[in-house]
A and B are shown apart, each in its own frame.
Chain A
Amino acid sequence: MPLSVDERWDLIDRISKQTVEFGAYKHTLKDAIAELTVKPLTGLPVAIAVIYGFWSFFCDFAGTLFTDGFMVKLFDEHWLPWLQSVFPGGLGNPFYALMVDAGHIENGVLVASDNCFEAFGVLTSGLFVVFGVVLWAILAFYLMFALLEDIGYLPRLAVLVDTVLHKIGLHGYAIVPTFLALGCNIPGVTATRTLETRKQRFLMITLLSVFVPCGAQIGIMQDLVPEMMGWIFLTLAIGYLGFGFILNKIVPGKSPEIIMDVPPYRMPVMKNIVSKLWIRTSKFLLVAVPFVLLGCVIVGIMYLPQVGAMDWLATVLGPFLMSWFGVPGETVSPLIAGFLRKDLAVGMLGGLMEQGIMTTFQVFTSVVLLCIYFPCLATFALMIKEEKWKEFIGSIASLVVMVLVYGGLIHVVGIMLGVA
């Protein structure tokens, strides 16, 4: 016969009295550090320092050291020219365009590309995006993340941001799915299972899929528009908090308080860090590589002059994109690629920037739009699996509204500032 809750605690009390003895507890250095990192006065500066360190490592290790220092040179100066010289077909040939270089029109003449953002072939841009840029960003991100995880810092961060996140119907622990999603949205969405109510999961999944860019995307953005990153993150954070606040008001359901364990700080174990890094990175490559290459092929085909689908879409959707968001019709192609992979899509924006057809503000708006307009296909599929139908439709509906409102708002702000 099962016991009642009280009877069970009675029994436990009796057992522990006979078997457990608490000695005098000594305050250790570990405890002192633990307290410093959760008290707001000292904890906030520590949090800022940690995040700043995280970001610097991300930029220096992935961006400066690997991508700019090594991969860009390898791909642009050796790989691309070599392929251009040996691949059969040549400029103007459809298969050559798909695989190596589609080229672009300059003064009415089709000219070859001189970098892998522009070329847009499967073997050039496709491989460059994955192995030249994104892989290093993902590695840097997950290395830092694994360290923070195993030391036990994340729950402390959760305690610190608890008050803020309560305003948007979540609690401090929502920082974990959010942080995970910054690496890849897929584990972020999965991690929402630790949230208690359907309302909280709905809020979290919706906000994640709209306002949290993934590591692959951040890596590419950092490479293309490093000077804008601050503004981009600020815009996304305002959207996350602002729309979270509104959704919390209109979505029915409860947002209970969480009672969470803050684990003790521990020394990370090297073996564990390495194995996590390996599992996460290989999982990432498994999803990313096929999608990026597929995306290259699909967009490449739509671009072919013989097909002309991209020009047609740019003409049809161009006026809407221009009047509502203030971005040129050409952004249609990255937006389409973005359904498959965000990193690829941002890479395509790079190609457009190189051709000089966008103002700085338009680049900014396009990058933000690419972040928010649709979760990538893999995340989208996971949302179908994780959410009940009603919530899924709710997520998509909120997504559409948020993109239109927020994208339009950014345009309006640009007009008022006189930069749009």
Chain B
Amino acid sequence: MKILLMGHPNVGKSVFFNRLTGTKVFESNYPGTTVDFTKGWMRLEGEDVELIDVPGAFSLEWKDQAEEVAVKMLEENRDSVVVCVLDASKVERGLYLALEIIERGYPVVVALNMWDVTKDKNIGIDVEKLERILGVPVVATTAISGEGFKELVSKIKETAPVKIEKIIKNAGGGESAAVSG
């Protein structure tokens, strides 16, 4: 099993990577620091698991070389669990990528990172409800301080692939979504 860290540019994937593996990769406060992937190892329930820091991507329909690398990484590692890191203050945009990955049949754990920023911006997110609708673990994290990491790691082994139809149903719009398509 491998773990892929995916998400938009500048949502804190590299901070995640550093926290989880203890290896040092660059963290910068601007998008696009990681243009190549970085590998590291982390302990997961007594087992060494490979963790890959994938370059930031907005979507799997790639437009630049960093995104191209991201899609390749995903396709080459079919047996991976994907930790999808979202900017919690911009959930909708992040969900787009998360859904794309779920649709491709990967088991996903969603990290709502920069949780502290949502408080600054007065944004309320119902994590439990989001988890119920998506059917995959959703964890609120603040990577810089380390909040939520223990919970995140404990969820990695629990997650499983989810059918997108089920998410549509959970969101309460089965028929209308099918019709609009």
B46 at the interface (CB under 8 A from A): no
B27 at the interface (CB under 8 A from A): yes
B181, A7: Cβ atoms under 8 Å? yes
User: Which A residues contact B (CB, under 8 angstroms)?
Assistant: 1-4, 6-16, 18-26, 28, 149-152, 154-155, 176, 190-191, 193-196, 201, 260-261, 263-264, 266, 269, 272, 275-276, 279
B29, A266: Cβ atoms under 8 Å? yes
- Measured CB to CB, the nearest residue on chain A to B95 is A12
A176 to B29, CA, bound (A): 12
Contact mask for chain B residues 7-33; partner A; CB cutoff 8 A; 1 contact, 0 none = 011100000000000001011111110
B133, A152: Cβ atoms under 8 Å? no
B63, A261: Cβ atoms under 8 Å? no
B123, A194: Cβ atoms under 8 Å? no
A141 to B27, CA, bound (A): 17
- Measured CB to CB, the nearest residue on chain A to B35 is A193
B167 at the interface (CB under 8 A from A): yes
B171, A11: Cβ atoms under 8 Å? yes
B residues less than 8 Å from A176 (CB atoms):
30, 32
Q: A15-B171, A193-B66 are in contact. Are A26 and B133 (CB under 8 A)?
A: no
B1 at the interface (CB under 8 A from A): no
Beyond A193-B65, A263-B29, 8 additional pairs, beta carbon < 8 A:
A3-B99, A12-B99, A19-B133, A20-B126, A23-B123, A151-B29, A194-B66, A260-B31
A8, B29: Cβ atoms under 8 Å? no
User: Which B residues contact A (CB, under 8 angstroms)?
Assistant: 8-10, 24, 26-32, 35-36, 63-66, 91-92, 95-96, 99-100, 103-104, 117, 120-127, 129-130, 133-134, 144, 164-165, 167-168, 171-173, 177, 180-181
- Measured CB to CB, the nearest residue on chain A to B88 is A20
Give the residue among A8, A20, A21, A266 with the most B Cβ atoms within 10 A.
A20
Q: A149-B30, A152-B29 are in contact. Are A15 and B133 (CB under 8 A)?
A: yes
Nearest Cβ in chain B — how far from A388, in angstroms?
Answer: 12
A4 to B103, CA, bound (A): 11
- Measured CB to CB, the nearest residue on chain A to B164 is A3
Q: A3-B181, A23-B124, A263-B10 are in contact. Are A11 and B103 (CB under 8 A)?
A: no
Q: A14-B172, A23-B122 are in contact. Are A149 and B24 (CB under 8 A)?
A: no
A24, B122: Cβ atoms under 8 Å? yes
A residues less than 8 Å from B65 (CB atoms):
193-194, 201
Query: 4 tightest CB-CB pairs across the interface, nearest first?
Result: A23-B122, A152-B29, A194-B32, A21-B124
B99, A11: Cβ atoms under 8 Å? yes
A194, B24: Cβ atoms under 8 Å? no
Q: A9-B96, A14-B173, A155-B30 are in contact. Are A261 and B10 (CB under 8 A)?
A: yes
Partner of B91, one of A1, A9, A16: A16
Main DSSP-derived SS at the A contact region: helix
A201 to B159, CA, bound (A): 40
A266 to B123, CA, bound (A): 19
B125, A20: Cβ atoms under 8 Å? yes
B residues less than 8 Å from A15 (CB atoms):
95, 130, 133-134, 167, 171
A12 to B130, CA, bound (A): 11
Nearest Cβ in chain A — how far from B125, in angstroms?
Answer: 5
A7, B29: Cβ atoms under 8 Å? no
A13 to B35, CA, bound (A): 30
A191, B32: Cβ atoms under 8 Å? yes
Partner of B64, one of A8, A23, A193: A193
A residues less than 8 Å from B66 (CB atoms):
193-194
Nearest Cβ in chain A — how far from B91, in angstroms?
Answer: 6
A261 to B89, CA, bound (A): 13
A180 to B4, CA, bound (A): 28
A266 to B91, CA, bound (A): 20
B126, A272: Cβ atoms under 8 Å? no
A residues less than 8 Å from B144 (CB atoms):
269
Q: A18-B171, A193-B65 are in contact. Are A150 and B29 (CB under 8 A)?
A: yes
Nearest Cβ in chain A — how far from B154, in angstroms?
Answer: 22
A263, B171: Cβ atoms under 8 Å? no
A15 to B130, CA, bound (A): 7
Partner of A10, one of B30, B35, B63, B180: B180
Q: A3-B164, A261-B10 are in contact. Are A194 and B96 (CB under 8 A)?
A: no
A residues less than 8 Å from B122 (CB atoms):
22-26
A20, B26: Cβ atoms under 8 Å? no
B residues less than 8 Å from A272 (CB atoms):
27
A16, B95: Cβ atoms under 8 Å? yes
Nearest Cβ in chain A — how far from B162, in angstroms?
Answer: 13
A residues less than 8 Å from B31 (CB atoms):
155, 194, 260-261, 263
Nearest Cβ in chain B — how far from A184, in angstroms?
Answer: 14
A residues less than 8 Å from B28 (CB atoms):
149-150, 276
A110 to B56, CA, bound (A): 60
Partner of B126, one of A18, A28, A190, A266: A18
B residues less than 8 Å from A23 (CB atoms):
122-124
A16, B92: Cβ atoms under 8 Å? yes
B residues less than 8 Å from A19 (CB atoms):
91, 125-127, 129-130, 133
